[in-house]
Amino acid sequence: MNDNLEKTTSPEKLWKSCLLYIKDKISDQAFQTWFSGILISSVSNDELVIQVPNKFHFEWLESKYRLLIDDAVKKVFSKPLVINYSVVISKKNTADIPNINDKVPLTKNYHNKSSLNKSYTFENFIEGKGNQMAKAAALSISENFGSSPFNPLLIYSHTGLGKTHLLQAIGNYIIKKRNSLKITYLTSEKFMHDFIKSIQENKTTDFANLYRKSDLLLIDDVQFFEGKEQTQEQFFHLFNDLYQKGKHIVLTMDRHPNELKGIKERLISRFKSGLTVDIHPPDLETRIAILMKKADVENLDIPYSVTEFLASSIRGNVRDLEGALTRVLAISTLSKRDVNLTLVKEVIKDILGNDAFKEITTDRVITFVSKFGKVSEKSITGKGRKKDVVLARQIAMYLSREFTGNTLSKIGLHFGKRDHSTVIHACNLIEQKIKTNNAFKNKINKLIFDIENINLER
Ligand code: ADP
Ligand code: MG
């Protein structure tokens, strides 16, 4: 863009062009999370001020997207500008205990629409590498309802990774678009209890008919059918009946269907006849984004240090992550203490136990990488350019970013005052190598396990 344009176009429009430029370069999800809704606050000769929801948001933009933003600004404003931020304060109610986990109870009205938790939507579901496929499949069914080839869709994962959320997101989406359809959401446990009750009351025909009217059957935690032969038999008929009528079925379970024990083979092969996708635990970026989303939905102002610390301490399970946040907020409200790092560390120690609590620092990462790569700790933070030293340094930078949540600049400083672009370069190289080289990926996973679990005697 040239000088003329800059003089005649409003800063808002120019910023919009920056956003368009950025949108092209990153994933939709990343753009939605970090850039959509970011407005310009002011612009001067050498500075551009943007509005962000909190300080953390800006720091994240700084550490992850600074080069990209600089690029966009240079192109659109035809000169580099210093990027600064202002925080837009949102209304919030600190007097009440935040009701993060205040969900619509699922114990009532199982088989009608109101049994869906309204907050389990696609909008509230943060996409990351681990759940991308599952979310895409769920969304595709919702958008192409009635003509989707993914029937049944089966989503499996360990507990707390978003299966129920996605399952209900499909229901919520379809209710909104096509209110006349009959959607059944229930757990397999509920299915069994209803079935047994219907036998006791001599109403098995009513029971069968009730579910057969569904246009969409969402059935959660199917592993519960293990060993329950009669219930399986009943479900098998329901499944076939719906399937033949072209109705849609989505199932979740806590492991791959091949690993189910005590479920009839013919049922398992039905389960697998559509699309099977799994969900892996979220990485750091996704965990942080999930916490930020929760804070956003609940209108809470949580300091950057707290989000970062929670997300890097509680790995592996989103439910635990949310639980930790809820606990922090509850304690803060009940004991009238600020939500700060001191409070969060106490809570995390409480949750994980003193022994299990290991704050992962860049130093800890370096110690383990040094052993792993058989190079000295000093050389990792030094200037040496020998091949194995360089690789160890890059791995250590990458893992520091994954584990500590420190900004790239801070990580760079730790490694012999290198600048943030060196760190970005290192992270990209290692990420690429993990993606393309399975043996390397396994080694890194083992290293990560050690960093998370091994006690250092010193
Ligand atoms: P599962 O059914 O796999 O055990 P849930 O769907 O109950 O897990 O998820 C546990 C909690 O974590 C829920 O409150 C859910 O909203 C939240 N959660 C899980 N994954 C995500 C995600 N990707 N984005 C936002 N929230 C998530
Ligand atoms: Mg569940």
Nearest CA, atom 23, ligand 1 = 126
CA distance 383 to 417: 10
In the sheet that holds 39-43, the strands lie side by side as 39-43, 47-52, 82-87
State which ligand 1 atom lies nearest to the alpha carbon of 252: 2
Taking the centre of ligand 1 as the mean of its atom positions, its distance from the CA of residue 153, in whole angstroms, is: 18
* Ligand 1 centre distance from Cα of residue 72 (Å): 35
The predicted pLDDT at position 448 comes to: 87
Q: Which of 103, 106, 161 to mutate to test the pocket of ligand 1 (most atoms within 8 A of CB)?
A: 161
Determine the pLDDT at residue 113: 43
Look at the block and give the residue holding tokens 């730790």.
Answer: 414
Residue-level pLDDT at 356: 57
Ligand 1 atom closest to the Cα of residue 318 is: 12
Q: How far is the CA of 158 from the centre of ligand 2 (A)?
A: 9
Show Cβ contacts of residue 410 under 8 Å, excluding neighbours closer than 6 positions.
Answer: none
Closest ligand 1 atom number to CA of residue 131: 23
Backbone angles phi, psi at 218, to 5 degrees: -110, 110
Q: What was the pLDDT predicted at 97?
A: 31
pLDDT for res 358? 64
Q: Which two tokens stand for residue 118?
A: 């309204």
pLDDT at residue 90, rounded to an integer: 46
pTM: 0.67
H helices, E strands: number in the chain: 20, 8
Q: Which residues contact 226 (CB under 8 A, 6 or more apart)?
A: 260, 261, 262, 263
Q: What ligand 1 atom has the least distance to the C-alpha of 221?
A: 2
Residues with CB under 6 A from ligand 1: 124-126, 131, 157, 159-165, 290, 293, 318-319, 322
| Domains annotated on the chain, with CATH | 3-87 (3.30.300.180), 113-278 (3.40.50.300), 284-355 (1.10.8.60), 362-453 (1.10.1750.10)
Q: What is the CA radius of gyration of the chain?
A: 25
pLDDT tens-digit profile, the chain (458 residues): 444 444 568 889 999 999 999 999 887 767 877 888 888 988 888 899 998 876 667 777 877 788 899 999 999 999 889 888 887 754 333 333 333 333 333 333 344 445 799 999 999 999 998 999 999 999 999 999 988 889 999 999 999 999 999 999 999 999 999 888 999 999 999 999 999 999 999 998 999 898 999 999 999 999 999 999 999 999 999 999 999 999 999 999 999 999 999 999 999 999 999 999 999 999 888 999 999 998 888 888 888 778 888 988 888 789 999 999 988 988 888 888 888 888 998 888 888 776 556 677 899 999 999 999 999 999 999 999 999 999 999 999 999 987 776 778 889 999 999 988 899 899 989 989 988 998 999 899 889 888 877 776 54
